[in-house]
Amino acid sequence: MGKLFNFLARIAYPLLPVKRAEFAEEIGDEPCIFLANHLGAVGPMYMSVTFPLRDNVAIWCNEGMMDEKLVVEYVRHDWWWRPESKLAPLYSATLPYAAKAIVPKVLRSAPTIAVCRDARIMTTMRKSLRALREGKHIVIFPELPNGFGTHAEQLQMGWLNLTTMYYRATGKPLRMFPVYIDEKARVFRVGKAILADPDRPLEEQTSSIEAYLAAGIRGGKGR
């Protein structure tokens, strides 16, 4: 982690109320994937600043937020404000440029892995596999924004191929833990792990894995 992120994390830590975690089972020593609810910009802050395992994670972050050349348009299309708001034109003219000046520098200093949305996704996957083999946990926010403050019913599941890559590289299954960041109760609720069966095609398991994780990420409120 970079000096900028460490400095800001020390400032943010006392301001973020969720610090305690409840684990449904022991995490153990093997690396795993944590799938967490996004909570706008707050979810990534919690997982990188106050989550008990924060010193040993690598967090997936959209490339559009990490690159000054991309962040302006990314912010304008990422539901940072209500499109029908009377102040939407003002927000569009100011917030993206404020983000450009600050956000990419902070995120590049944080323990992040850039997520690309084109053929370079394999770079993301290889970097993630390398982090796992170094013993780090991967944190992913799989909810898909579907309007201001809302998400699509289904989760994004392209990351699931990482379980196959990890198994082929190590001969070990990669555990996936749902995390519900419960701001009201001020606790990280980490559910039991789910595993992909290496002897079955991944596409046959995706739906059941997605349903289990979606329920856990939403605090037990499944579809």
**pLDDT tens-digit series, residues 83-93:** 888 888 898 89
Domain presence at residue 91:
yes
User: Number of folded domains in the chain?
Assistant: 1
> Does position 9 have pLDDT exceeding 60, yes or no?
yes
- Choice among 32-36, 107-111, 127-131, 142-146 with the minimum mean pLDDT: 142-146
State the pLDDT at residue 77. 81
> Does position 123 have pLDDT exceeding 70, yes or no?
yes
Q: Give the amino acid at 174.
A: L
CB atoms within 10 A of CB 137: 22
Domain presence at residue 123:
yes
Question: 30-79: per-residue pLDDT in tens?
Answer: 999 999 999 888 999 999 999 999 999 999 999 999 999 999 988 888 76
> Does position 221 have pLDDT exceeding 70, yes or no?
no
Domain presence at residue 116:
yes
Rounded to 10 degrees, the C-alpha dihedral 51/34/31/159 comes to: -140
Report, as an integer, the average pLDDT of 7-15. 96
State the pLDDT at residue 223. 40
State the pLDDT at residue 126. 96
Q: Report CA 4 to chain centroid distance, whole Å.
A: 20
Report the alpha-carbon distance of residue 44 to residue 85 in Å, rounded: 26
State the pLDDT at residue 122. 93
Q: Which position has the higher pLDDT, 84 or 124?
A: 124
Domain presence at residue 144:
yes
Domain presence at residue 174:
no
Range(s) of the domain holding residue 115: 1-151
Report the alpha-carbon distance of residue 30 to residue 8 in Å, rounded: 29
Domain presence at residue 9:
yes
State the pLDDT at residue 199. 92
Domain presence at residue 212:
no
Domain presence at residue 101:
yes
> Does position 151 have pLDDT exceeding 80, yes or no?
no
Between the alpha carbon of residue 106 and those of residues 76, 78, 101, the distances in Å are 19, 18, 10
